Chains A and B, each alone.
Chain A
Amino acid sequence: MSEKPGGKGRPGAPPRPEASGKHSVSQSAAPQAKTTTAQPEARLKVAGLEVRLGRSGPDVVGDVSFAVQAGEVLGLVGESGSGKTTVALALLGHARRGLRITAGQVLLDGTDLLALNPRDLRAARGARVSYVPQDPSSALNPALRVGTQIREVLQVHPGAAGNAGDRVAEVMQEVHLDPTPEMLRRYPHQLSGGQQQRIALAMAFACRPSLIVLDEPTTGLDVSTQRHVLDTVRSLCRSHAVAAVYVSHDLAVVSGLASGVAVMYAGRVVETGPAARVLGEPVHPYTRGLIRAVPSPERIEALAGIDGQQPRPARRGPGCSFAARCGHATGDCATQAPELVTVADRAVRCLRAQDIQASHPARTPLVAGPPAGAGTPALSVREVTASYGSTPVLSGISLEVPPRSCVAIVGESGSGKTTLARCIAGLHGNWTGEITFQGTPLARGTRQRDKNALRRVQYIFQNPYTSLNPRRTIGQIIDQQLGQLTGLSHAKRSARAASILEDVSLDPDVLSCYPDQLSGGERQRVAIARALAVQPDLLICDEVTSSLDVSVQAIVVELLRRIQQERHLAMIFITHNLALVRAIAQSAVVLHHGTLAESGPVEQILEHPAHPCTQRLIADMPRLRSSRTHRPPDPHDTPDRPDRRS
C-alpha cells in the first residue's frame, strides 16, 4: 500500500520534543510556532489536536502535539480519564459518541488524516494506520471466526497484500500463533486472553501499516503474557519500520518499550521527551508522582500514589489542572494556564518547571513493620486439594500465615491463587485437607460456618466495579455487613460505618453515594472498609489492584499495608505482579499449575528465586528503567508458551 522508507527511521534516535531548539523558558511559544520546528522526517506528526464534547462544549483534550519516527514507539501515559484513549482514537480520525475532533492535524507521512474525506479515511484505517484495542475479548466479534476477522482487513483493503492467505499465515507466525486451519477456524471465546490479543495484533499488522496505535493492549493480561505481547510488539515495529503509539497507565511497561514519552493529564500533554530523560529525571510533579507509584522489586521504599482526582473536562479551572494535587503549587498555578516550556531536553507544561527541575524527587524509604509475630500461626493450610467439577485445580497445598503478618500468594493466571483463597474463605466448598484458623479447623463452605467464623475471615474482591451492589448506597452496603455479622445496635452500626470510612481516607459524605458515583480507587477503598468494619482477624485481598491505575494501586497498597500493621491483622495478598509483593508482604508463596512452587521470606523469593516459574515471573515483571540500557538476554524470547486462561 504505502512505500516503506525503511532507512529513514533510525532505531534508537529518540524523537525530540517540540521546540527543541529553545532551551530557555519561553512562556509565549504559540502552538503553531512549535509544530513548524518539528523534525520533517517524522512518520507521524500530531499538531494542536483538540477534541471537544459536542460541537462547542468543553475540550476533552487540547493542544496535543507530538511526533513519532518510523520504527519507534511513543508511550502515551496517564491515569484513567486523562484523555489518552481519546487521543489514540483521534489518530485514526475517530471520536467516540458525543465527542468531536475540532482542531489539529494528524500528519501521517505528510497526509493529514483529519482532512481526508470519509472514503479516503476508511481506506487509510486498517491499511496505513491500525489500532490494537484494550480488551480484545470485547473488541473481537464473538460471532465471527478469528481467521475471518484477520482476512477481512485484507479483503476491505485490496492491494494491501499480494495473496491474502499467505499474508494471514505470515502475520500469524509473526505474532507467534500457529497459522493452522484449526486455529483460524476458532471463535474468539475459544482462545485465551493472550491469544486474543495476538489475533488483534495480527489484524493490526496484516496490511503493513505505517502507524499502529496500541490502546493499553496488555491491561488484564498476567505479567508473563504481557511480556510476550510486548516483545512481539517491539520486534514487529522494528522489523517493519512501523511507528507506534503505545497508550498505557503503567510507566514501567512504557519504559521497556518506548523511546519517547508523552505524559497526559486532564487532556493536556504535561511532559514529553525522550523516554530515558523523562522517566529517569522527571520534572513535572505529576510525572514524578506516577513514577513514585510504580512498584519496584529492587527499591525498598513505600509506594506513594497521587491523592485526589483529575478534574473532569467541564470542571477545569483557568490555571494548571494539576495544581490542586501538586505539592509545588503556588498562587499563580491556580490562575495562570501553563504553556509547554523546554527544560532539560523535554517539554514540560508547568509554571515552576525550572525550580522543580533543580529539586530532587523525594523518596520515602519503606519503614519495616513490626516483625512477624512468632508463636502459633494465625492460619495454617495443610494438604489442600481442590477441584472444579472433575477438573483438579489445587493439589496438596500447605502454607502458614504467621500472626500479624502478610503472606503474598503469587502465580500466573490459572495457577490456582484465587481458588486457594476461595477455599480459605469458604466460597469454594469442594476441597479436601485441613485449614486451621487460630487453632480451630474451618468448615468447608460458608454455609457450614457460624457467624463468628464468617466475621473473622473477610475477603476483598478483584473488581470493585462488580463487588459492590449498584442499587445500594455505600452506607447501606457497610450497614448490611455489620447487621449480618455483628450484634451491634443501629446507632453503633452508623458510628462504626462513619469511623471506618475515615480509616480508609474517605469522606463521610460517601456514605450516601451509590457505587457508580465513585472512582475505581474509591470503590476499592469502600470494599476494604466493608471488610474492616466487622473487625476481622484475617483479610484476604484477591488481586485487589489489578483493575486500578498504577497511581491508585499505590494508594490502595499503602492503605492496606498501614491497616495491616496498625490493626495487627493477618493478611493474604494475592497478585500476579511480584513487584508489589515487597511493598506489602513479609513472606510469599508461589503457585504453579495448582502446586506449590516455592515459599519463603520475600527477600529470598525476589533475590534468589529457586523455582523456574518464580524466575520467569521475576524476569517478566515490567521494570521502570531509569536509564536505557540493553535488555538482559532473554531466556525465552522466541518460543511461544501457551497462554493459560484464568
Chain B
Amino acid sequence: MVGRRLAAGVVTLFLVSVVVFLATEVLPGNAAYAILGHEGTPARVRALEVALHLNRGLLDQYWIWISGLFTGNLGHSLANGLPVWGYVEPRIINSAVLVFVTGVIGAFAGVALGAVTALRKDGWPDHVISVVVLAITSLPEFVVAIALIIVLSTAVWHVLPAVSLLAPGTYAWSQPELLVLPVATLVIVITPYILRMMRAAMVEALESDYVEMARLKGTPEWRVVLVHALPNAIAPTIQVIGLTFLYLAGGVVIVEYVFNFPGIGQALVNAVNGRDIPVIQFIVLALAAFYLVVNIVTDVIALLATPRRRIVS
C-alpha cells in the first residue's frame, strides 16, 4: 500500500514540476527583462537570455532544470547571484523548525485539551474553552500575530522581540527567543481545529457501547479513558493533525512576513516579487514534496491506529 502511494507520489511530483515550470514561463516578461529593468538594452537582454538558456526551446529548458535538480546543480538565484541551494537551505531549515515545533506543540495541546473538554463535557472548562476556541477561529493569523506583538513586545510588556531578525545564513535555534512569537501565533491558530476534532471524537468514544462495556467490566476510569476511548478518538484526529501540517506549510508565509522571520515563505514572496524563477521553482517543488510526504505519513499513522482498516478479513 505504502509502495503504491510512494509511486503515485513520484508521478505527482513530476506533474507538479511540469506545472511549476510552465507557470513560471507564462509569467509576464522574462527574467532577463526583470533583472535588467530599465537599464536593459536589447543587446544586454539578448546576452543575458543566452546565459540563462532562455533562448532555448521549452523542452530543453525543462530538461536543463530537471537534470540540475538530480545532480545538485539548482542554478543561481537571478536576484542575488547566489547558488539556489546555498540561498534557500538555511531558510528551509528555519521554516521546518517553525513548522515542526508549532505542529508538535499544537498537536499535543489540541489532543490534551480536546480530551479534557470531552471528559468535562458541559462543565465550566468545556464552556470556557469552547468560547475561546470559537473566538480564535474567527481571527485571521495576522491579527493574532499583531495582538501578540502588542501585548508581549510593545505596548503592554516588552519581553520578546517583535521582529525575528537573523543574520543571513544563520539558524533560528541559535536565538530561540526569536521563535517564540511566530510559534505562539501559529499554535494559537492551529490548536482549535485539532481540539475540536479531538473533542468530538472523544465524546463519541466516551458514549460508545465499548466504553460502557469497559466500565461494566469494572475497568478503572483512567484505564477506560486511556486504553479504551483514547485510541479510538486519536485515529480521526490524526487526519486533522496531518491537514494542520499542510496548512502550516502555507500558513508560515504570512506569519514569517509579519515577524520578518527568515524562512521559506519570506524567501518565496521575495522571489516572486523579483521574478527569481530558479528560486520559485525550487521552493514550490519542495513544498509539493512536503505535502506528499505529510499525506503519506498521515495515512500510514491513521492506518496503524485503525485495526479495522488495517486488517481486512
Contact = CB atoms under 8 A, between A and B. Distances in A.
A126 B208 contact: no
A156 B210 contact: no
Interface stretch (A136-144, A351-359, A361-369): A136-144
Contacts of B218: 122-127, 153, 156-157
A157 B223 CA distance: 13
B250 to A, nearest CB: 33
B27 to A, nearest CB: 48
B4 interface: no
Interface string A145-171: 000000011001100000000000000
A140 B216 contact: no
A190 interface: yes
A131 B216 contact: yes
Nearest to B217: A126
B220 A140 contact: no
Interface string B277-313: 0000000000000000000000000000111100101
Given A133-B209, A143-B305, A190-B313, A92 B216 contact: yes
B186 to A, nearest CB: 31
B130 interface: no
Contacts of A189: 307-308, 311, 313
Contacts of A124: 218
Contacts of A144: 227-228, 231
A141 B232 contact: yes
A315 interface: no
A189 B219 CA distance: 22
Interface residues of B, number: 25
B214 interface: yes
Contact of B231 (A96, A131, A143): A143
A125 B216 contact: yes
Contacts of B306: 142-143
Interface in A90-136: 92, 94, 96-97, 122-127, 130-131, 133, 135
Contacts of B311: 187, 189-190
A130 B215 contact: no
Which of A135, A142, A187: most chain B CB closer than 10 A? A142
Interface size class of A (residues with CB under 8 A): 20 to 34
Contacts of B220: 122, 156
B212 to A, nearest CB: 7
B39 interface: no
Given A141-B228, A156-B223, A203 B217 contact: yes
B213 A152 contact: no
A152 B217 contact: yes
Contacts of B219: 122, 126, 152-153, 156
Nearest to B211: A141
Contacts of A139: 209-210, 212-213
Contacts of A200: 213
B239 to A, nearest CB: 16
Interface in B183-240: 207-210, 212-220, 223, 227-228, 231-232, 235
A153 B216 CA distance: 10
A233 B81 CA distance: 82
A101 to B, nearest CB: 14
A157 B308 CA distance: 28
5 contacts: A122-B218, A152-B217, A152-B227, A153-B218, A187-B311
Interface of B: 207-210, 212-220, 223, 227-228, 231-232, 235, 305-308, 311, 313
Given A122-B220, A187-B311, 7 more contacts: A135-B209, A139-B209, A141-B210, A143-B232, A144-B231, A156-B223, A190-B313
Which 3 interchain pairs have the tightest Cβ spacing?
Answer: A126-B218, A125-B218, A126-B217
